[in-house]
Amino acid sequence: MDADVVVVGAGPTGLVLAGDLATAGARVTVLEKRPAGLSNLTRAFAVHARSLEMLDARGLADELLTKGQQVPSLRLFQRLTISLADLPSRFQYVLVVPQYEVERLLRRRAEEAGAGFRHDTEVTALVQDDQSVTVTTADGSTLRAQYLVGTDGARSTVRGAVGIPFPGHAVIRSMVLADVRLAREPADPLTVAAANSSLGFLAPFGDGWYRFIGWHGNRDVGEDEPVDLDEVRSIARATLHDDYGMGETRFLSRFHADERQAPTYRAGRVFLAGDAAHVHSPAGGLGMNTGMQDAANLGWKLAAALRLPDAERAAVLDSYQAERHPVGKQVLRASGGILRAATLPGPVVAAVRGVAIGLVSRVAPIRRRAALTVSALGVAYPRPGGAHPLVGTRVPDLPLEGGSRLAEALRAGRFVLVAPAGAPLPEMGRAPGEADPAERVLARRADGDTTTLLVRPDGYVADAA
Ligand SMILES: Cc1cc2nc3c(=O)[nH]c(=O)nc-3n(C[C@H](O)[C@H](O)[C@H](O)COP(=O)(O)OP(=O)(O)OC[C@H]3O[C@@H](n4cnc5c(N)ncnc54)[C@H](O)[C@@H]3O)c2cc1C
């Protein structure tokens, strides 16, 4: 074998995965068709609370915070504000930061942990048997590994090579994207507005640049039609009622968005994660966040599969599909819902939208649910029958004895046994996917709660008592 795991694609999903696998001691090689040093096109700019927690558990969140702007509320459609200030997390905001900053930190971590990177290396084909997967790259060379993960984006070659379909449809065409400087600062840090069948979204990068995404319902042109600043300004005026004196630009493009999801994220020894497994519109800023969390779910399971006996391997690998496919489905629904609420034309829809917004604004539990969905803090995984009610739920960043936090204990990439203070260490059997209980990190909680938790490397409860 040339590697334990080959990861195809060094976007945010592949980088989390490569770092997690290498931290767990696996030999991992990342194949990326882009030349070294060429940034992935800047697309995502919103990092939500659950992703920040995940980055915190890898020692990267505090550094990322210095690169972006914290936005504590989302103002949607003029009248609706979703506050993130009371999210049950250390991160009570969305961080607006360019995708390349997230990738830079993840890349550094993966390299430090020992992941190997090969650039200018495009995967063109792959075959697998009972023992291994062999990939072929554009220059004709081959590489053999025990497992392969396609994190190669929406047009995934890996997905095509193993024959997994990608059903769905285009949901919005001819959106424009502009990174601009403004003469006047908007009153709200993050604004989304829909008006006259148009949609406008404006967010700050925190360094003087703003990202504008707009859509004009009556203008449907091909993606290669150039975008000029006048078009951007006119959509901004139609939706946000101001173009804020948009001036210098550094990036202008036109794009479309599809809603698609692979029915299965696995074919034998080959897995899909991130945009290779699911795509949707940018509404909600959920794509990169969901991809990184797919990787956090899959990484420790693959690392465990390399060490577990045959009989136990299947269950832990199957749990990736069981846990992440429903999350992908819900993300498509949430993102699609936001987009449709914003863009459907007509006075009846506008009236319904008004009523719905009024309802969401007034009813605290609905507002809270919306915040938990967008931030992904509300994600919980299926619980086996008879298991403790906490199994499958996300563990908040508990304070631990000695002044540290759970996020810090998770940085070793292992299971963490969190025992109550002052009591003898409780017995807790080996959890599904746990290769060796002797490797657990042991910690005592400092919040007075007497529940013992066995926490998975991705921060969800494996067992509790
Ligand atoms: C306008 C816009 C705004 C967005 N805003 C947000 C946001 O605010 N928040 C958010 O969470 N998401 C957002 N997204 C979505 C986000 O950008 C994607 O979900 C994210 O980049 C997916 O990461 P990934 O690693 O799965 O795939 P990608 O980032 O697409 O990375 C795939 C990598 O694989 C490489 N590759 C492809 N094929 C091959 C091959 N055959 N061989 C080798 N390498 C290959 C590519 O070069 C690339 O580096 C936005 C998207 C758009 C278009």
List pLDDT tens digits, range 169-210: 988 888 999 999 999 998 877 777 777 678 888 888 878 889
**Six-digit token pair at 114?**
């020992």
Q: 452 — phi, psi (to 5°)?
A: -90, 135
- The residues, any chain, with a CB within 8 Å of residue 378's CB and separated by 6 or more, are 369, 372
Residue 121 pLDDT > 70? yes
Provide the sign of the torsion angle of the four alpha carbons 213, 216, 222, 225, taken in this order. Answer: negative
Residue linked to tokens 């590697």: 3
C-alpha distances (whole Å) from 89 to each of 49, 199, 263, 272, 295 are 7, 31, 32, 29, 21
Are 388 and 463 in contact by the 8 Å Cβ rule? The answer is yes
Instruction: List every span in the chain annotated with CATH 3.40.30.120.
Output: 381-465
- The residues, any chain, with a CB within 8 Å of residue 247's CB and separated by 6 or more, are 180, 181, 182, 183
Q: 263 — phi, psi (to 5°)?
A: -65, -25
**Six-digit token pair at 322?**
């069981």
Query: Smallest Cα–Cα separation from 273: which of 325, 223, 313?
Result: 325
Atom of ligand 1 nearest to the CA of 137: 42
Instruction: Please give the torsion angle defined by the CA atoms of residues 298, 304, 309 and 314, in that order, rounded to the nearest 10 degrees.
Output: -10
CA–centroid distance, residue 288 to ligand 1 (Å) = 7
Q: Which of 33, 97, 272, 331 to mutate to test the pocket of ligand 1 (most atoms within 8 A of CB)?
A: 33
- Greater confidence (310 vs 129) lies with 129
Distance CA 244, CA 233 (A): 9
Residue of minimum CA distance from atom 38 in ligand 1: 152
The residue length of the chain stands at 465
pLDDT band at residue 298 using 50, 70 and 90 as cut-offs = very high
Distance CA 202, CA 323 (A): 33
Task: Give the per-residue pLDDT at 45.
Answer: 85
Task: Give the per-residue pLDDT at 39.
Answer: 74
The mean of the pLDDT values for the chain is 91
C-alpha distances (whole Å) from 21 to each of 28, 121, 124, 306, 461 are 7, 20, 24, 10, 20
Least confident of 158-167, 307-316, 392-401: 307-316
The pairing of beta strand 46-47 with beta strand 94-96: antiparallel
**Percent of the chain scoring above 90 in pLDDT:** 70
Fold of 3-45+98-166+262-334: FAD/NAD(P)-binding domain (3.50.50)
Q: Which of 34, 99, 215 to mutate to test the pocket of ligand 1 (most atoms within 8 A of CB)?
A: 99
26-36 pLDDT tens trace: 999 999 999 98
Least confident of 111-115, 149-153, 312-316, 407-411: 312-316
Distance CA 17, CA 26 (A): 11
231-256 pLDDT tens trace: 999 999 998 889 999 999 988 999 88
CA–centroid distance, residue 400 to ligand 1 (Å) = 36
Are 266 and 321 in contact by the 8 Å Cβ rule? The answer is yes
CA–centroid distance, residue 120 to ligand 1 (Å) = 17
Instruction: List every span in the chain annotated with CATH 3.50.50.60.
Output: 3-45+98-166+262-334
Residue of minimum CA distance from atom 1 in ligand 1: 43
Residue of minimum CA distance from atom 30 in ligand 1: 153
CA–centroid distance, residue 153 to ligand 1 (Å) = 5
Task: Give the per-residue pLDDT at 4.
Answer: 98
Atom of ligand 1 nearest to the CA of 286: 11
H helix and E strand count, the chain: 11, 23
Task: Give the per-residue pLDDT at 77.
Answer: 61
Atom of ligand 1 nearest to the CA of 289: 11
Task: Give the per-residue pLDDT at 357.
Answer: 67
141-164 pLDDT tens trace: 999 999 999 999 999 999 999 999
Task: Give the per-residue pLDDT at 62.
Answer: 98
Residue of minimum CA distance from atom 35 in ligand 1: 9
Exposed/middle/buried for residue 313 (C-beta within 10 Å: 0-12, 13-18, 19+): middle
Sheet architecture: strand order including 453-455 = 441-444, 416-419, 453-455, 461-464
Least confident of 185-189, 285-289, 311-315, 354-358: 354-358
- The residues, any chain, with a CB within 8 Å of residue 192's CB and separated by 6 or more, are 74, 75, 76, 77, 199, 200, 201, 342
Instruction: List every span in the chain annotated with CATH 3.30.70.2450.
Output: 168-259
C-alpha distances (whole Å) from 292 to each of 108, 138, 157, 270, 430 are 16, 27, 19, 18, 27
331-378 pLDDT tens trace: 999 988 878 777 766 666 666 666 666 666 666 777 788 889 989 999
Ligand 1 environment, Cβ below 6 A: 8-14, 31-34, 40, 43-46, 99, 122-123, 151-153, 157, 177, 255, 274-275, 282, 285-289, 291
Task: Give the per-residue pLDDT at 184.
Answer: 93
Over range 387-408, report the average pLDDT: 96
Task: Give the per-residue pLDDT at 345.
Answer: 64
CATH of domain 381-465: 3.40.30.120
CA–centroid distance, residue 103 to ligand 1 (Å) = 11
Residue of minimum CA distance from atom 51 in ligand 1: 43
Query: Smallest Cα–Cα separation from 146: which of 325, 265, 308?
Result: 308
Q: Which of 156, 256, 288 to mutate to test the pocket of ligand 1 (most atoms within 8 A of CB)?
A: 288
CA–centroid distance, residue 260 to ligand 1 (Å) = 14
Task: Give the per-residue pLDDT at 346.
Answer: 62
Residue linked to tokens 């059997």: 429
**Percent of the chain scoring above 70 in pLDDT:** 94
pTM value surpassing 0.75:
yes
168-259 belongs to which CATH class?
alpha beta
- Give DSSP secondary structure letters for 165-193: ---EEEEEEEEEEEEEE-SS--SSSSEEE
CA–centroid distance, residue 405 to ligand 1 (Å) = 31
**Six-digit token pair at 140?**
């004709």
CA–centroid distance, residue 158 to ligand 1 (Å) = 15
Residue 78 pLDDT > 70? no
CA–centroid distance, residue 275 to ligand 1 (Å) = 6
Task: Give the per-residue pLDDT at 344.
Answer: 65
